[in-house]
Amino acid sequence: MKILYGIQLTGNGHITRSIKVIKALKDNGIDVDIITSGTNSQLKLPFEIKYQFDGLSFYYNNVGGINWLKTILKLNIRKFFNDLNYDVSEYDLIISDFEPISAWSAKRQNKKSIGIGNQYSFISKKTPRPFFKDIFSELFIKYFAPCKEHIGINYEKYDNFITLPIINDDLIDKKIKDDKFYLVYLPSMSSEFISEQINKYNCDNWKVYSPDVEKDRTDGIVKLKKLNKEKFTKDLLNCTGVITASGFSTTSEALVLGKKLWSIPIKGQYEQLCNAKSLKKMKVFTEELNSDNIFEWIYNYDKIEYDWCDPINDIIKKIKDFWML
């Protein structure tokens, strides 16, 4: 069995999830080639990449909204559509983590394909949405990386094809502590803006990881940290609580580790608004970042109980079963 695995590099969650699935596939003796598209990830894959496409990448303004003008101007539309017919003839199965080139190439060449990821959970009408649905975003999720079969991933099993979150092995069966500090990862906001809001509150200990921090430094009561996967993982295990965007990966990790969570959806990003709706139903704080809300979260919210079991073996079984159909 030979698989082509496509990974969308918008944020780090796609990589984190895909690493675990690919490793499990390889451990099961399955040959896997990898292609990627997009440029919005700070993590690197520990596997050889067969091809890196430009794809579609999102760009953000300083306060957490999508900069649509820059996003569109950076897209090479002609090349993007040409890439959607990548040769997949040598593969038995195509897996897409919301990656369009692998998905559309499989569709055009009539190959078996499976979509794995949070976005595919929104195929179910049972998955929570904001009160006002964004029709354009619903169509985007449906057609951006379409596959024949789906393994949706979400906080709860809203439908029979949806599984619980895939969590990095670096966080499973590790010692969890509370070293009395709060951890912040809001990559679409500037570190200057985040630090300003926290310093207005002026209490407690804070560590802020941000892609715009080139060297670790201190700003008032805030320790600004350069992105580092190993150090962030250690701080995630040892913090009191986490403030992060409503991307699926870090929010899921915080829930599984039993950390108090504040999740702030990126403005204009529908998937994150949907995730925030699910989290709010679970009693997670989802308001915007400011000093008043920092006080509210610290004193009036607590961590929630989250029941989780590792879905990776079930996912590998579903992949094998679909291939054999």
- In one letter, which amino acid is 285? F
Name the token pair of 64: 């957490």
What is the pLDDT tens value at each position of the chain, 325 positions in all? 999 999 998 767 788 899 999 999 999 999 999 999 987 666 678 899 999 998 777 766 655 566 777 777 777 788 888 889 999 999 999 999 999 999 999 999 999 999 999 999 999 999 999 988 899 889 989 999 999 999 999 999 999 999 999 998 889 999 999 999 999 999 889 999 999 999 998 889 999 999 999 999 999 999 999 999 899 999 999 999 999 999 999 999 999 999 999 999 988 788 999 999 999 999 999 999 999 999 999 999 999 999 999 999 999 999 999 998 7
Alpha-carbon torsion (68, 71, 76, 79), positive or negative: negative
**C-alpha torsion 197→199→205→210, nearest 10:** 50
What letters, b where the CB count within 10 A reaches 16 and e where it falls short, cover 231-253?
ebeebbbbbbbbbbbbbbbbbbb
Cross-strand partners of 7: 36, 97
Strands (E), the chain: 2-10, 31-40, 51-53, 93-97, 113-117, 149-153, 162-163, 182-185, 206-210, 217-219, 222-226, 241-245, 260-264
- Alpha carbon distance 45, 229 (integer Å): 12
